């Protein structure tokens, strides 16, 4: 069995990841280059793409409410499209979601997130699957001004009933959804990553079991008319979310079986453990398996231990 802290096994995995980081194009960068553009999603909600993340904008009498702030490079363009912004939700701490926080705060917006998201933004984050890249703590101006600690909340904005809540330990341990009930639009951040193997930020509490649970919770909330907006990629239907959930469930079940047999991350990479899913979820299999294994190891006890 390869323990995740086994130096030789970990060294081999990190060598693979470093090579992938050097050779592979980051999908988000490609999406962001076109610049922000807006399309009507549902009255009175607009979808803004090309800002690093998908941004959902709700127009109100006193300004706009945004789900996610996009990245820093496109914050000025995003503000031009959104107009005066009164409230911003951060679905998680990553820079594609929170990079524009500084500009939003300077424009007078209050920023809302889960407490765990705010906490991670005050810390130095090491992402070893990105060849050991280090993300420094964010400046005070970028931090959410309101961070809820409970599992859910609700509010009304521009006549729209909004429900929001924590999806624990999924992509990170601070992921939230924002549900516009009247318009039936459900913003889900990176808890759903359509058309690709998901990134699992194990360093900050993310793991495949939590991602599976989050997608099940979102399915329970959605109906056949719900427009489901991921952090990146096309707007989804409930049927498409169901297909994603089914694939994630199969991948999780397979990896748990392998782990219980004593297989480590490098073993899974060498065995091309997710190759059978490449047609529906293509991507960097080595990086995904490393991240998935680290998360599974963190939850080994609740999974019944390892042989």
For residue 255, being part of any structural domain is answered with no
For residue 289, being part of any structural domain is answered with no
For residue 4, being part of any structural domain is answered with no
* Cβ atoms within 10 Å, residue 77: 17
For residue 21, being part of any structural domain is answered with no
Compute the distance between CA of residue 273 and CA of residue 296 in angstroms, rounded to an integer. Answer: 15
For residue 82, being part of any structural domain is answered with yes
- Which phi and psi (to 5°) does residue 50 adopt? 80, 20
The domain in which residue 161 lies consists of 27-238
| pLDDT of the residue at 72 | 97
| pLDDT of the residue at 98 | 98
For residue 98, being part of any structural domain is answered with yes
Check whether the bond before 44 is cis (ω within 30° of 0). Answer: yes
Compute the distance between CA of residue 180 and CA of residue 183 in angstroms, rounded to an integer. Answer: 6
Which two tokens mark 155?
């509010």
Question: What pTM value is reported for the model?
Answer: 0.90
Burial of 153 (C-beta count, 10 Å sphere; 0-12/13-18/19+): middle
Instruction: For the chain of 307 residues, list the mean pLDDT of each consecutive stretch of 10.
Output: 45 48 42 76 95 96 94 96 96 97 97 98 91 93 96 95 98 98 98 97 97 98 98 98 98 97 96 98 97 96 82
Query: Which residue's entry shows tokens 């997130």?
Result: 113
For residue 126, being part of any structural domain is answered with yes
| pLDDT of the residue at 131 | 83
| pLDDT of the residue at 307 | 61
| pLDDT of the residue at 256 | 97
| pLDDT of the residue at 144 | 98
| pLDDT of the residue at 11 | 52
Contact present, 129 and 290 (Cβ < 8 Å): yes
For residue 306, being part of any structural domain is answered with no
Contact present, 70 and 78 (Cβ < 8 Å): yes
| pLDDT of the residue at 52 | 95
Q: For the domain that residue 85 is a member of, what is the CATH number?
A: 3.60.15.10
| pLDDT of the residue at 219 | 98
Sign of CA dihedral 271, 274, 276, 279: negative
| Structural domains counted in the chain | 1
């Amino acid at each position: 069995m390869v323990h995740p802290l086994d130096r030789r096994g970990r060294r081999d995995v990190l060598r693979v990841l470093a090579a992938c980081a050097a050779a592979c194009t980051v999908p988000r960068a490609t999406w962001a280059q076109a610049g922000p553009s807006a399309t009507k999603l549902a009255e009175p909600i607009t979808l803004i793409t090309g800002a690093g993340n998908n941004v959902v904008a709700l127009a109100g009498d006193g300004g706009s409410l945004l789900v996610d702030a996009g990245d820093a490079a496109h914050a000025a363009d995003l503000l031009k499209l959104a107009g005066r912004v009164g409230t911003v939700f951060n679905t998680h701490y990553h820079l594609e979601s929170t990079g524009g926080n500084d500009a939003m705060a300077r424009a007078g917006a209050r920023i809302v997130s889960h407490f765990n998201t705010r906490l991670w933004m005050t810390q130095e984050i090491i992402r070893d699957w990105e060849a050991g890249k280090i993300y420094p703590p964010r400046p005070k101006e970028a931090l959410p001004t309101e961070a809820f600690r409970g599992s859910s909340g609700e509010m009304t904005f521009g006549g729209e009933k909004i429900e929001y809540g924590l999806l624990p330990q999924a992509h990170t341990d601070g992921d939230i959804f924002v549900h516009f009930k009247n318009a039936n639009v459900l913003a889900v951040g990176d808890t759903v990553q359509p058309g690709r193997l998901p990134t699992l930020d194990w360093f900050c509490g993310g793991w495949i079991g939590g991602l599976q649970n989050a997608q099940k919770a979102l399915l329970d909330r959605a109906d056949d008319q719900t427009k489901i907006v991921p952090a990146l990629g096309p707007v989804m239907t409930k049927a498409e979310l169901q297909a994603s959930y089914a694939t994630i469930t199969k991948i999780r079940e397979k990896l748990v079986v392998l782990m219980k047999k004593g297989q480590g991350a490098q073993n899974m990479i060498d065995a091309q453990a997710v190759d059978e899913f490449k047609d529906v979820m293509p991507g960097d299999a080595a990086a995904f398996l490393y991240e998935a294994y680290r998360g599974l190891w963190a939850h080994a006890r609740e999974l019944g231990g390892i042989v």
